[in-house]
Amino acid sequence: MNDTSLKDHWNHAWEKQDDTAVSWFQETPEPSLSLVERHAPDRTSAFVDIGGGASRLVDSLLDHGYCDLTVLDLSGSSLEIARQRLGKRGEHVDWIESDVLAWEPDRRFGIWHDRAAFHFLTAPGDQERYRDLLDRALKPGGLLAVVSFHSLEDRVVKRFFAARSSTGGGGSRHAPVQQTLDPAFEITVKGDGPDAEELAENPRARSARLRVGRRTEAPAGKADRTQLGLPKLVTGEKKGKRR
C-alpha cells in the first residue's frame, strides 16, 4: 500500500462508523493509563501517543494532570474526532498528522505509547526506521509501552523488544561475528494480558498484550535487520541485476 492509500484506508476506517464502534475502542484506556501513572508519575513528562487516533487516553491523561501531550496519527479524520470531543481542552495537546515513519521530532519524549499501530509496519525497512526513530526520540530513562492485539502481532513486538534489550550476541559460535550494540531497553513488562475488568468492558481484547521497556543510556544505533529477525535486504547490485 502506498502512503496515500494507507492514509485513505485509515481515514475511511475512522469515518465509516462512530469512533465508539471500532473494534479497538476503549471507554476507559486501561491498562495504559495505570501504567503511565505508575511508571511515569511526573505530570510534566513529555508523552506521545503513536497512532493514537481518536483514543480517549489523551482525555484521561489530561484529567490526571499530564500537561505535555502529543498525539500523532496518519489519519487526520481520527485526530479531528478527538479534537472535537475535547473542545477547548484539545488546545493543550499537540496534534500531529503524519506517518510515524516520515516524522522528524524536534524534541525527545519521556513516554512513547503505541497501541495497535506498530504491528502495521510490515513493509521491508519499516521496523528498522521505527526503531531508529524511537532510539533518537525517547529520552534515557523514558518509557516505551506497546500494545498489540493478536498473538501474531505480539510476536513482532516481542521480537522487537528482544532485539532492543540485548546486545545481539548469542547464537551459534560458528556464525559470522556481528557488530553488537549496547541494549537500548530494559524490559519491565513482558506481554501482560488484559485483566477481568478490561475483558468485561471489551471481550475482543482477550488476546491483547502489553510490553513495556525503559530506555537505557545507550546511544542510538543503526538497525540491523537480522537482530529484528528480518532477512537481509538484497540490493539489485548484489543480485547482479543492475546494468
Ligand X SMILES: C[S@@+](CC[C@H](N)C(=O)[O-])C[C@H]1O[C@@H](n2cnc3c(N)ncnc32)[C@H](O)[C@@H]1O
Judged by CB under 6 A, which of 74, 137, 138, 157 binds ligand X? 74
By beta-carbon proximity to ligand X, the closer residue of 128 and 168 is 128
Compute the least distance from the CB of residue 51 to ligand X, in Å: 3
Q: What are the beta bridge partners of residue 187?
A: 213
Judged by CB under 6 A, which of 52, 142, 168, 213 binds ligand X? 52
Judged by CB under 6 A, which of 45, 60, 78, 227 binds ligand X? 78
Compute the least distance from the CB of residue 72 to ligand X, in Å: 6
**Each residue of 9-41: b (16+ CB within 10 Å) or e?**
ebbebbeeeebeebeebbeebbbbbebbeebbe
What is the distance between the alpha carbons of residues 206 and 216, in angstroms, rounded to a whole number? 31
For residue 47, state whether it binds ligand X (rule: CB under 6 A). no
List the x/- string, 89-128, binding to ligand X by CB under 6 A: ----------xxx-------------xxx--x--------
Query: Within 13 Å and on the Cβ side, how many CA atoms surround 8?
Result: 5
The footprint of ligand X on this chain (CB under 6 A) covers a number of residues equal to 17
Binding stretches for ligand X (CB under 6 A): 10, 24, 51-53, 55, 73-75, 78, 99-101, 115-117, 120
